[in-house]
Amino acid sequence: MTLQEKIEQLLTKSEFTAEDRAIFEEFKTALRTGKIRSAEKDADGNWQTNAWVKRGILLGFKMGNMVEMSKETETFKFFDKETYPLRPMTLADKVRIVPGGSSIRDGSYIAPSVVCMPPCYVNVGAFVDEGTMIDSHALVGSCAQIGKRVHISAAAQIGGVLEPVNANPVIIEDDCLIGGNTGVYEGVIVREKVVLASGVILTRSTPVFDLVNGEIIKSTAEKSLEIPAGAVVVQGSRQITNGFGKEQGLSLYAPIIVKYRDEKTDASTKLEDYLR
């Protein structure tokens, strides 16, 4: 029986044996080592959700009991499901975790050469690939998929999603620069080499205005919002053209693609290499 079949079988149960818990630990270890993940890119470059993996993660919350996770010597107290402690890590993982209060939850994959600046948080089901930097006060939410050599700048929020189980998590592909105080939520897909300037907010319902190609990029019922490869996205606004909004001179927030990456853009982001 495959691991998927074992997990699907456990989903029908309301009480769990020691053997059931061993199966869940096998599942969590597969997540931790990157053998399974909540979403994967297919041969055509499209991202597909592995719903059974997300169901397995939810199973852990159903299976676990609330326990105290803080130590007797700590002033701050922590209480969580026993199935999701902090991720076990050693020097052999080759992940640089700078002192200062970061937390990485078990059931997440952190590749060698990742840098975690304090304090940051990586939630269960997340996949963070090689050479990525997660800066201070940044969040990598549940099941988010982060590519190689990505910089998630200070206070950036990469949203998580567990339910509905067939919904795509947030995807950040290789070589992206995610600016400070940026937020990417609700299954948005950011293709490779994108630059999101500081403060850009992207959700499924956010229209993105592409000045270069003269088009508006939107999600559909079947497709998530997708930022094209190499796009440089900045904060902008669009004027309200009727009614009270026009009378008051109001504008709405609008992310704008002002250019696509070139040698000059690459030179400015090259500085990130020296931080790793």
Residue 201 falls within a domain, yes or no? Answer: yes
Which token pair is 103? 């937390």
The answer to whether the Cα torsion of 246, 249, 253, 258 is positive or negative is positive
Residue 24 falls within a domain, yes or no? Answer: no
b/e for 59-96, b at 16 or more Cβ within 10 A? Answer: bbeebbeeeeeeeeeeeeeeebbebbeebeeeeeeebe
Residue 71 falls within a domain, yes or no? Answer: no
Residue 226 falls within a domain, yes or no? Answer: yes
Residue 95 falls within a domain, yes or no? Answer: yes
User: Is 186 within 8 Å of 168 (Cβ atoms)?
Assistant: no
The answer to whether the Cα torsion of 19, 23, 25, 29 is positive or negative is positive
Domain of residue 246, CATH code: 2.160.10.10
What's the half-sphere exposure (Cβ side, CA atoms, 13 Å) at 236? 17
- For the chain, the domain total comes to 1
Residue 223 falls within a domain, yes or no? Answer: yes
Range of the domain at 228: 84-275
Helix (H) and strand (E) counts for the chain?
5, 28
Residue 112 falls within a domain, yes or no? Answer: yes
- The confidence band for 262, taking pLDDT boundaries of 50, 70 and 90, is confident
Tell me what pLDDT residue 275 has: 47
E strand intervals along 76-174: 79-81, 96-97, 103-104, 109-110, 115-116, 121-122, 127-128, 133-134, 139-140, 145-146, 151-152, 157-158, 171-172
CA distance 118 to 22: 33
Residue 132 falls within a domain, yes or no? Answer: yes
pLDDT per position as a tens digit, 79-138 = 999 999 999 999 999 999 999 999 999 999 999 999 999 999 999 999 999 999 999 999
